[in-house]
Amino acid sequence: MAFLDLAHLDKSYGANHVVKDFNLAIEKGEFVSLLGPSGCGKTTVLRMVGGFEVPSAGTIHIDGQDVTSLKSNQRNIGMVFQAYALFPNLTVAQNVAFGLKVAGVSKAETAERVTEMLSLIGLADLGNRYPFQLSGGQQQRVALARALAVRPKVLLLDEPLSALDAKIRASLRREIRSIQQRLGITTIFVTHDQEEALSMSDRVVVMSGGRADQIGTPHQVYNRPATRFVASFVGTLNTFDATVTDPATGTVRLGDSTVVLNRPVEAASGAAITLALRPESATLGAGNPGDVTLMGRITEVQFLGAIIRITADLGGHDLTLDTFNRAATPPPHIGEEVTISLPPDGLVALVA
């Protein structure tokens, strides 16, 4: 059994079935993100793990112990909320010490642990300040220190960065990941931000309609989406209608071209499927032998600094491709006729 094991979790509020047969096994020290749009059930799963919601069905095991019926304070869980939830009348040090005081830890050990936690989050000199005297990023670090001070078995993070501006968010997510790796604490992170999930996680669980559509590494989820929802939700995507001609070899018909994917397609011969392609997989000009070659006309060019995003009209079908900015090579002009190459290994067959 995994260190944190969620088996067949269900949660309903009357007729509203928000989590459906959810299964997830997390190893000790692993960082797993639950990613999905609002209402997909990700926060409800987190709250069931934390003991704030009771499952309608299913079990939760932590370190071999069935905690499904235990209260939140009996699970040795640390939780960080989106809204910080710091006590405004307590100093930073007192906020960090709060859980230790409730647990009856001695004053000497509490003082030592608070000093350790404030050093860990880089706020060693701010222990006597109050929350209102801190920035949003500093307040969130204090909330993290408070959750970690009790040395929990599992750390739960409920969209902790969503209230911060983009620059602070990027900096803090690196800090959180670094601290998590240093402590080796098993962590579940809930977010609707795909960049956060992909950049921080060992594995990502993409949720839709109360279910886990796909569980995999960031590389797997991005490059080999298992369903149309995952493909469309994670990253930018081009899609093409195609027809299966040989399911075993993944041979499909795309327009006037035959494409061999060299991997099985779970659809019958003659079935209509969708081929998906990330913008960075397509290239301007002739590609490698075996690539699908299409003719198009440039309709839009967006200069994004390191990346140039180009949109081309392929006879009524728009295709987006990304290319690196190179100082010596100017981007194409709007209206220019171009050749676009699609590599078979970049095409993903979507049948679900």
Q: Summarize pLDDT for 104-152 with one digit per residue, the tens.
A: 999 999 999 999 999 999 999 999 999 999 999 999 999 999 999 999 9
- Tell whether the torsion through CA atoms of 317, 322, 325 and 328 is positive or negative: negative
CB 292 within 8 A of CB 315: no
| Measured distance CA(247)–CA(182) in Å, rounded | 46
Superfamily of domain 236-350 in CATH is: Nucleic acid-binding proteins (2.40.50.140)
pLDDT for the residue 10: 97
Name the DSSP class of 351.
-
- Contact yes or no for 53/30 (Cβ under 8 A): no
Band of residue 287 on the pLDDT scale cut at 50, 70, 90: confident
Q: How confident is the model at residue 262 (pLDDT cuts 50, 70, 90)?
A: confident
- What pLDDT was estimated at residue 319? 92
Sequence-ordered strand ranges (E) for 93-233: 154-158, 186-191, 203-208, 211-216
Q: What is the pLDDT of residue 164?
A: 83
Tell me what pLDDT residue 293 has. 86
Whether 74 shows a pLDDT value over 80: the answer reads yes
**Distance, CA of 229 to CA of 237 (rounded, Å):** 11
Q: What pLDDT shows up at residue 119?
A: 94
For residue 50, the model assigns a pLDDT of 96
Domain 4-232 and domain 236-350, same fold? Reply is: no
Checking if the pLDDT of 317 tops 90, the result is no
At residue 321, the pLDDT reads 95
Exposure letters 138-151 (e unless 16+ CB within 10 A, then b): bbbbbbbbbbbbbe
Mean pLDDT score across all residues of the chain: 93
| Structure confidence by residue, pLDDT tens digits, 176-223 | 999 999 999 999 999 999 999 999 999 999 999 999 999 999 999 999
Query: Mean of the pLDDT values across residues 302-326?
Result: 92
Q: Where are the domains of the chain?
A: 4-232, 236-350
Is residue 352 predicted with pLDDT exceeding 80? no
Give me the pLDDT at residue 182, please: 94
- What integer pLDDT is reported at residue 260 of this predicted model? 85
Separation between Cα atoms, residue 311 and residue 318, nearest integer Å: 7
Helices within 69-135 (DSSP H only): 92-102, 107-120
| Alpha carbon 326 to chain centroid, angstroms | 30
Among candidate residues 143, 147, 136, 164, the one with its CA nearest the CA of residue 50: 147
Which DSSP category does 184 fall into? T
Mean pLDDT for 324-329 is 89
- Per-residue pLDDT, averaged over 63-87, amounts to 92
Q: So what CATH class is 4-232?
A: alpha beta
Question: Which pLDDT score, from 0 to 100, does residue 82 have?
Answer: 84
Give the long-range contacts of residues 328-336, CB within 8 A, separation 24 or more: 331/301, 331/303, 332/284, 332/298, 332/301, 333/298, 333/301, 334/298, 334/299, 334/300, 334/301, 335/297, 335/298, 336/297, 336/298
Query: What pLDDT does 150 receive?
Result: 94
Sheet strands (E) in the chain: 4-13, 16-26, 31-35, 57-62, 65-66, 77-80, 154-158, 186-191, 203-208, 211-216, 238-246, 251-254, 257-260, 272-277, 283-284, 292-303, 307-313, 318-324, 337-342, 347-350
Written as six digits, the tokens of 234 are: 């994670």
What is the C-alpha separation between 290 and 311, in angstroms, rounded?
23
